[in-house]
Structure 1
Amino acid sequence: MRPVLDEILSQAERKTKAVCRQMALLKWMAQAENNEETMRQALAWEESCERLTLLARSLPVYTGCPRAKEESLRVTKTVVPVAIGFTAEKWFCVRLPLLLPKKESGSADYIRSFLYPAMRDFFDGRQPVRYRDCVLIYRHVYDRRRPERQMRDHDNIEMNMVTDIVAMYVMPDDGPSVCSHYYCSAAAETERTEVYIVPRAEFPVWLFCERKMPEEGVELYETQQEA
């Protein structure tokens, strides 16, 4: 265990130094008011930070402490609070306080690390829910101060892991005979990703409601509300 821990620590140290160097370059570009290059460096810095985060998440386990996994999950719940519940219309919703990362090595593990425990805890002791003819909706909410974020290609965003975990709990499967997929974007004060499971017949209603959704997101309930 110790040689592996030493190697992980060495990797973390190298990545931390790289992040610091990129931050210094990013600050210099920002002061030079070169917006295009500043954005390019900001995206590179963001990617490096994501990779460092993935490494940091694995580090506690390699210490050999028997409580490492449990304590790591506790930290994740605090840092990445996932909201799960049902809307007033009885639609299932998962609200993540971040934009989903790009498809790359480790991104699926990153999502699994916080979403799977959150879903497991939410449905612990609850009756299972199954949507059998539905639309799986991804609503990417961008910081309106960062309009360039809307330019992200949906095909390059890691949604498969989210779909797999959500389907595990609320759908028989995520095949085309069970659900269709819909993607849209919106602007707000803070970035987040909202996932909805809506019966196919009610999808036009969701489209109408989406235009009037509150800035902070719709209210979620622990159980489906009676009409």
Structure 2
Amino acid sequence: MLAEARNLLQAYARKCVNIHFENLNDMVLEAAKSSEILTEKMRNLVLQMTLDKRKYEQYQSDLVLIHGIEIAYEENILSISLPALIPHRKTEYTNYIYKPLYTAFQHWCIERAEQNKEIPEYRACTVCFSHIYDCKRPIYRVRDHDNIEEKHVLDVISNFFLTSDSGCYTNVYHETRLEDVERTMIYLLTPEKFPLWLYEKQQNLVSKN
């Protein structure tokens, strides 16, 4: 499957025909699903076999680094960087992003507690999803915001940082950008701070361009 995917990628590079890219994308998705199923089985095996608590905690710490999830908290704004786009709402296998995200939050909160640092909890919150697409790839990949599976991500965030993800307490904002590196940025901040923060963020982007 991977060999066929490479052939399709070469064909796409030579001719830049979108149908080749679609076929490549389907095959890569199937390979990724198979890989994630195997990864999930390996995680369960590690959980069953690793009796040493310290080794298991180190394993969880290593997972955060491997997945490249970054979390920062500054000026009452929590920022989360994911090295991937949030899955399409119809995607069958979506645990590949949610379980690592849960592990990353858990590890970050434990570290903050050990260092006597604040762990933010928002009663009222605006959650900003910034979907950043690779500008070198086909523009049709950019999806409508209502086709993005945000609920599971919000559920994980709510477990650690929100009083509630109900619409009474939480507002959600989406934006799309084209840049060199594909990823998702998520920001949590109070509704009062959001308008000025968004304005300053957009001004910074304009000045960079």
Shorter chain as denominator, the TM-score bin is 0.7 to 0.9
Residues 1:149 and 1:196: Cα distance change in structure 2 (over 3 Å): farther
1:138-177 paired onto structure 2 within 5 Å: 138-148=129-139, 151-177=142-168
What letter corresponds to residue 198 of structure 2 in structure 1? L
1:47 aligns with 2:29: yes
Residues 1:78 and 1:198: Cα distance change in structure 2 (over 3 Å): closer
Deviations 1:122-173 (Å, cap 9, x if unpaired)? 1111544221222111001122212526521322323222111111111111
Shift of 1:72: 6.3
Give 2:175's aligned residue. Answer: 184
2:67 and 2:83 in contact (8 A); partners too: yes
Shift of 1:34: 4.5
1:26 and 1:42 in contact (8 A); partners too: yes
Give 2:10's aligned residue. Answer: 27
Give 1:120's aligned residue. Answer: 106
Counterpart-to-counterpart distance in 1, 2:119 and 2:92:
32
Residues 1:160 and 1:50: Cα distance change in structure 2 (over 3 Å): farther
Counterpart-to-counterpart distance in 1, 2:28 and 2:145:
18
Residues 1:39 and 1:25: Cα distance change in structure 2 (over 3 Å): closer
Choose the corresponding residue for 1:66, options 46, 49, 71: 49
Counterpart-to-counterpart distance in 2, 1:74 and 1:23:
33
Task: Name structure 2 gaps, 5 residues minimum.
Answer: none
* Larger mean Cα displacement after TM superposition, 92-101 or 65-74: 65-74
Task: Name structure 1 gaps, 5 residues minimum.
Answer: 1-17, 215-227
Choose the corresponding residue for 2:192, options 194, 201, 218: 201
- TM-score normalised by the chain length of structure 2: 0.79
Choose the corresponding residue for 1:106, options 88, 93, 105: 93
What is the alpha-carbon root mean square deviation over aligned residues? Answer: 2.7
Residues 1:119 and 1:28: Cα distance change in structure 2 (over 3 Å): same
1:94 and 1:194 in contact (8 A); partners too: yes
> Identity over the aligned pairs, expressed in percent?
22
Choose the corresponding residue for 1:79, options 41, 48, 66: 66
- TM-score normalised by the chain length of structure 1: 0.73
